[in-house]
Structure 1
């Protein structure tokens, strides 16, 4: 009997081995290495020197880190809920279409297939002050368009607009969730005299709550790692990308308004070669993302009446 169990265990382990090996090589080992290097002074050229908590103490007095944290938290607090609300509204609207629903699903999903770098470049030129078509159209109706990516006040909202344009992936998920709500629930609520708002609040939202939680968690994690669009937008809007000055020199343009946490992490690690401090920044970001995820999951359980 014991031999049979051992053979079954060996067979099971053989099937799991490729996945376990991949997890170990590409997640566990890099994570452990990052934790170790975060306690060292390391630049790839010399032997790592143990410095204890110096890298973490350095964060407290890092003015660039403070600016990056503020911008990143702004993106999390604004971009994530706005994107979810906008996408949910679009999903609810498309779900009402009796004809042409497939066309609209495809139409709204296509922008999400555009590479982020290409989409950002296109958006910067569309919103370019003076020559961009968006401001030109606004001027035709008597509206003085903002400076968009060239304005510290409008740069982050411009990135939010870019995110809304490319929300097709989340739209498909929300649309599937909305269409999955049993029609019988709506019919019963209508017989009880519930209006559209009451049906949405009492039936749709509770039913799709797991999908909303998934969107919130993945949205927060994605925004905490917001890099490509902020880097490219600053580079193109500042003109640095066209003169070969190096993209890292334009990080945060204009006036640090788009300088996110990952941009500072990249700058520390690959421009200043302070890889020990960069690893400490990465570990701090991982801990924050994990903590926010745990909080969201616990609040979702409490809201649904489950025991945490």
Structure 2
């Protein structure tokens, strides 16, 4: 019996390397079809994402202009940017929009989601109505609001006149142009509202019942139960909203036909980047702007992630 066990151990030791080699061959041969199916996506990733990404790093140190290969100038593009008044103006406009739009979108989005989460007959219709503006293309949205905010015959100023309030020149005033853009953007926050609704549906009813037993009213349940358990969804929308706010482009570009008027109050960072790249063909300059924007967004996202440990609460923790 002992001899048979020893023979089996010897056979196993002898044949183990052979079996391992056969398994490696089978693994390699079985992975080939997978790589072939994934190859179109990999090729697209390299050609349309990786190559332009790393190329833009090099171009940001050159005077490349599409029509000419350009020369290596080191940090000259970055030096010119920091001495460019319109560059700083575009940053101010973008930060102004982000500071006001992102918090307002969260507050209004959560409030709308809580109202649309009520048990009311026909709620599916109300949810559809609030989501519909999201389906409107950005260009059509800009044209619609340009008509609504027209100082002469716009619907908004007409309604204000009814109650005796003189309406401002919304898009023609340096003071009111950015608030007008924020108003337009808030009109189309249906997508975050849907995400908030999903988060509200994930909160267990048992927690509300326990709060009622303790004598909590509606406001106390909202503060103690709803908002803490909704913070993961708020965190997600905060990150996505901040990134989107710093990339604002279509609405102001359409409304001002790329001019950023009045007085460059609607010249946003990405608009100025686009103008340098495709109007003035200063690709090196635009690449430097793109990497500065990348650093700003990465830094902002990192701050949000670091501070989230203090205010984001997950169920079960």
Is the pair's TM-score, using the shorter chain for normalization, greater than 0.5? Answer: yes
Partner of 1:297: 305
Q: Secondary structure at the match of 1:71?
A: helix
Q: Secondary structure at the match of 1:149?
A: coil
Partner of 1:273: 281
Partner of 1:231: 253
Partner of 1:254: 262
Partner of 1:243: none
CA shift, 1:8, in A, is 4.6
Cα contact 2:231–2:313 (8 A) shared by 1: no
Give per-residue Cα distances to partners, 1:122-172, cap 9 Å, x unaligned. Answer: 101111112112111111111111111111111111111101111111111
Answer yes or no: is 1:22 the counterpart of 2:44. Answer: yes
When Rg is computed on C-alpha atoms for both structures, the one with the higher figure is 2
CA shift, 1:19, in A, is 3.2
Partner of 1:39: 61
Partner of 2:164: 142
CA–CA distance in structure 2, aligned partners of residues 261 and 175 of structure 1: 32
- Compare 13-22 and 72-81 and name the one that shifted more: 13-22
- Cα RMSD between the aligned structures? 1.8
- Give unmatched runs, 5+ long, in structure 2: 1-22
Answer yes or no: is 1:106 the counterpart of 2:128. Answer: yes
For these two proteins, the number of residue pairs brought into alignment is 292
Q: 1:214 aligned to 233, 236, 239, which one?
A: 236
Distance 1:25-1:193 versus aligned 2 partners, 3 A rule = farther
- Give unmatched runs, 5+ long, in structure 1: 235-246
CA shift, 1:194, in A, is 2.1
CA shift, 1:270, in A, is 1.9
Give per-residue Cα distances to partners, 1:89-123, cap 9 Å, x unaligned. Answer: 01101111421110001001111111111111110
Partner of 1:127: 149
CA shift, 1:12, in A, is 4.5
CA–CA distance in structure 1, aligned partners of residues 58 and 227 of structure 2: 44
Give per-residue Cα distances to partners, 1:58-112, cap 9 Å, x unaligned. Answer: 1110100000000000111101111111111011011114211100010011111
Cα contact 2:232–2:313 (8 A) shared by 1: no
CA–CA distance in structure 2, aligned partners of residues 304 and 228 of structure 1: 32
CA–CA distance in structure 1, aligned partners of residues 147 and 66 of structure 2: 38
Q: TM-score, normalised by structure 1?
A: 0.89
CA shift, 1:5, in A, is 3.5
CA–CA distance in structure 1, aligned partners of residues 48 and 232 of structure 2: 29
CA shift, 1:305, in A, is 7.8
Q: Secondary structure at the match of 1:152?
A: coil
Partner of 1:117: 139
Distance 1:182-1:18 versus aligned 2 partners, 3 A rule = farther
Partner of 2:219: 197
CA–CA distance in structure 2, aligned partners of residues 269 and 181 of structure 1: 47
Cα contact 2:231–2:311 (8 A) shared by 1: no
Distance 1:7-1:210 versus aligned 2 partners, 3 A rule = farther
- Structure 1 runs of 4+ with >4 Å offset: none
CA–CA distance in structure 2, aligned partners of residues 159 and 147 of structure 1: 13
Partner of 2:6: none
Q: Secondary structure at the match of 2:43?
A: helix
Answer yes or no: is 1:69 the counterpart of 2:77. Answer: no
